[in-house]
A and B are shown apart, each in its own frame.
Chain A
């Protein structure tokens, strides 16, 4: 069964460092998303991506965040200068148009 895969599963980084979270969506899907979940809290929308561009982004997704689909398969989330409050579980999802299929998440810990 096709699935969304995310790497790494856990990333520890120093505050102020750049991190790149990687995702391989399901191959025939057209819509891509990043969500985050701070421990014990709700799942928050970050950004949606369609047709090689951002279709919508939240207030959380400020200038420190960027997304790319560099090679037609990977979908990356970059945080330029991490803050302590960026520590969270980051979920990538893809959709063919109805339900979203989520990856297993990347736990980002900023120290």
Chain B
């Protein structure tokens, strides 16, 4: 069975600082996709970044980057130069075939 674990229910970071959100997953598959979604107070799920399991290079999108460790089944999200607008719930997600599995989320508070 596929599972996604986010062990940090809540984190805080000062504006302009860097924060890393952790995610681990469990699967026996070799080909899959990993995602980080952001859910601001508006509740809409917004894609932040994605990583294909077959790619060794870590994905980067502006201030957002991942540390993908396939052997360890770890997929952490690093947010650099944190901004107030980054305050949200962040969900790690795993896609295998036709289904997405979500972690329980990490609530990130960016403090001024």
Interface residues of A (CB under 8 A from B): 31, 33, 35, 41-45, 48, 50, 55-56, 89, 91, 93, 98-105, 107
B47/A43 in contact, CB under 8 A: no
Closest to A104 in B: B44
What are 11 A-B pairs with beta-carbon distances under 8 A? A33-B100, A35-B100, A42-B103, A42-B104, A45-B101, A48-B98, A48-B99, A98-B33, A100-B47, A101-B47, A103-B44
- A42-B103, A42-B104, A99-B35 given as contacts; is B43 within 8 A of A105 (CB)? yes
Cβ 8 A contact of A56, one of B37, B44, B95, B99:
B99
Query: Within the complex, what minimum Cβ distance (angstroms) separates A35 from chain B?
Result: 8
| B11, CB-defined interface residue at 8 Å | no
> Per-position contact with A for B75-112: 1 when CB-CB < 8 Å, else 0?
00000000000000001000100111111110000000
Query: Within the complex, what minimum Cβ distance (angstroms) separates A45 from chain B?
Result: 6
| B16, CB-defined interface residue at 8 Å | no
A45/B100 in contact, CB under 8 A: yes
Complex Cα gap A99–B50 (Å) = 8
Complex Cα gap A12–B42 (Å) = 18
- A89-B43, A102-B45 given as contacts; is B102 within 8 A of A43 (CB)? yes
Nearest 10 CB-CB pairs, A to B?
Answer: A102-B45, A43-B102, A104-B44, A42-B104, A48-B98, A55-B98, A105-B43, A99-B50, A99-B47, A56-B99
Complex Cα gap A103–B43 (Å) = 10
Tally of contacts, chain A with chain B, CB under 8 A: 54
Q: Is the interface of B mostly helix, strand, loop or mixed?
A: strand
Residues of A within 8 A of B103 (CB): 42
Residues of B within 8 A of A33 (CB): 100
B45/A50 in contact, CB under 8 A: no
A100/B50 in contact, CB under 8 A: no
Residues of A within 8 A of B50 (CB): 98-99
Complex Cα gap A20–B100 (Å) = 23
Residues of A within 8 A of B104 (CB): 41-42
B43/A104 in contact, CB under 8 A: yes
Most buried by A among B33, B42, B99, B103: B99
